[in-house]
Amino acid sequence: MRKILLIFLIVLGAYITNYAQEEDFDDPEKIRIPSDSTSAPIQNGTLQTFRAVFEGKPGKAAAYAFCIPGGGQLYNKRYWKAPIVWAADATAIGFFIYNRNLWLEFQEALELKIDDPSYVHRGISSEESIRSLRNQFQLDTERAGIAILIVHVASVVEAFTDRHLMEFDVSEDLSYEIKPQVIPFTGAIPSLGIVYTF
């Protein structure tokens, strides 16, 4: 778990460092977009700002979801989704705590078994069995930690996406019309085309 967290922090630090070197907030020629826009400005093929993700209402929903489990769902007034996020977070955290406690217990039992070969823990007298169970609980603890991260990121993405969809125009006025159009004579054969408008 520590290795995964360390790798995540290193990647995040490298990204932020690279972003800080590329960003120039004093340049007046930089493209500015409205805070409620659904796209970030692009300059030279790269995202101009990382902060643009957290601007506007979708960005606020993502920020609330990032800081408080279910906060983005409450901001979007999707009240029924917040308990689902809380239940998923609580389940992942519960598995983490349960497996972490068992890992610590069997780690201590292994140390006692090494010191005293006659030591028996929960009816297990084999050092290899205790070691195997200790390793399994350590692996399950790491998996539960990854599950916590995945659930949290998924809730942030869901809040961000849901807010975009709430502002998307899905009215019944969206329609299209197909009508024939004669293309002007271009010196070749006159053509007939179809024009459709949304």
Long-range contacts of 112-118 (CB under 8 A, 24+ apart): none
Which are the contacts of 151, defined by CB distance < 8 A and separation ≥ 6? 85, 88, 89, 92
Tell me if 197 is assigned to some domain.
no
Residue 74: predicted pLDDT: 93
Tell me if 132 is assigned to some domain.
yes
Tell me if 31 is assigned to some domain.
no
**pLDDT tens-digit readout, 86-121:** 999 999 999 999 999 999 999 999 999 899 888 898
Higher pLDDT, 156 or 53: 156
**How many domains does the chain fold into?**
1
Tell me if 115 is assigned to some domain.
yes
Tell me if 158 is assigned to some domain.
yes
**pLDDT tens-digit readout, 118-145:** 889 888 888 899 999 999 999 999 999 9
Report the SS3 class of residue 114. Answer: helix
Contact 57, 65 (CB under 8 A): no
Tell me if 24 is assigned to some domain.
no
Instruction: Indicate if the pLDDT at residue 42 is higher than 80.
Output: no
Instruction: Supply the DSSP symbol for 39.
Output: S
The DSSP H or E segment spanning 194 is strand 191-197
Percent of the chain surpassing pLDDT 70: 57
**Largest Cα–Cα distance in the chain?**
102
Tell me if 186 is assigned to some domain.
no
- When the pLDDT of each residue in the chain is averaged and rounded to a whole number, the result is 75
Tell me if 65 is assigned to some domain.
yes
**Domain membership of residue 142 as a residue range:** 53-167
Instruction: Indicate if the pLDDT at residue 146 is higher than 60.
Output: yes
- Entry pTM: 0.59
